[in-house]
Amino acid sequence: MNSALRLVPALAIAAAGLTFALSAWSRSRRKTPEQRERERRMRISETGRITDGTVIDVNEIKMNGSGDMQLLIFQYDVAGVSYEASQDVTHLRHLVDLHTCRVGLPASIKYDPTNPGNSIVIAENWTGLRQ
């Protein structure tokens, strides 16, 4: 029985080590916010429905030390419900020139049919901005 009691601390240390290793591994595999946003855009651009909307504002927000954030603010209607949303297009700068986007610009909006508030105006493989 004494030999069995001697194994308890060793097993506890091994279990703690395994828990720490699994925790570290799972944290290293977490997606960054940018990766999650890109996946959201791609999912909506591939499976979303299209409706007409309007660009109502373009904002460039100065961030402390991390550059500028560019937001495209738009409105659209789905099934009689009006939505107003914004999309961070900072990582899509190469696809859109916000300086040519003007207030009132008509746009096509893609939205998730199961959650119409989840919408985009532009993605890597699609744009709803009209010239």
* pLDDT tier for residue 120 given thresholds of 50, 70 and 90: very high
Give yes or no: residues 40 and 63 share one domain: yes
Give yes or no: residues 14 and 37 share one domain: no
Give yes or no: residues 56 and 117 share one domain: yes
Give yes or no: residues 20 and 39 share one domain: no
What does the block give as tokens for 104? 């009132």
Domain coverage including residue 25: 1-30
Give the model's pLDDT for residue 119: 97
Residue 102 has pLDDT above 70, yes or no: yes
Give yes or no: residues 98 and 40 share one domain: yes
Give yes or no: residues 81 and 106 share one domain: yes
Give the model's pLDDT for residue 1: 55
Give yes or no: residues 91 and 109 share one domain: yes
Pick 9 or 1 by higher pLDDT.
9
Give yes or no: residues 55 and 118 share one domain: yes
Give yes or no: residues 3 and 39 share one domain: no
Q: How many domains does the chain have?
A: 2
Q: Is 76 helix (H, G, I), strand (E, B) or coil?
A: strand
In whole angstroms, give the CA distance from residue 113 to residue 119: 9
Pairing of strands 81-88, 126-127: unpaired
Q: What is the pLDDT of residues 3-14, one digit of tens each?
A: 667 777 778 888
Q: What is the pLDDT of residues 18-76, one digit of tens each?
A: 888 877 777 777 888 889 999 999 999 999 999 999 999 888 888 777 778 888 999 99
Give yes or no: residues 64 and 77 share one domain: yes
Burial 40-66 (b: 16+ CB within 10 A, else e): ebeebbeebeebebebbebeeeeeeee
Residue 84 has pLDDT above 90, yes or no: yes
Give the model's pLDDT for residue 68: 81
Give yes or no: residues 63 and 114 share one domain: yes
Its pTM stands at 0.72
Give yes or no: residues 40 and 4 share one domain: no
* Rounded average pLDDT over 110-116: 96
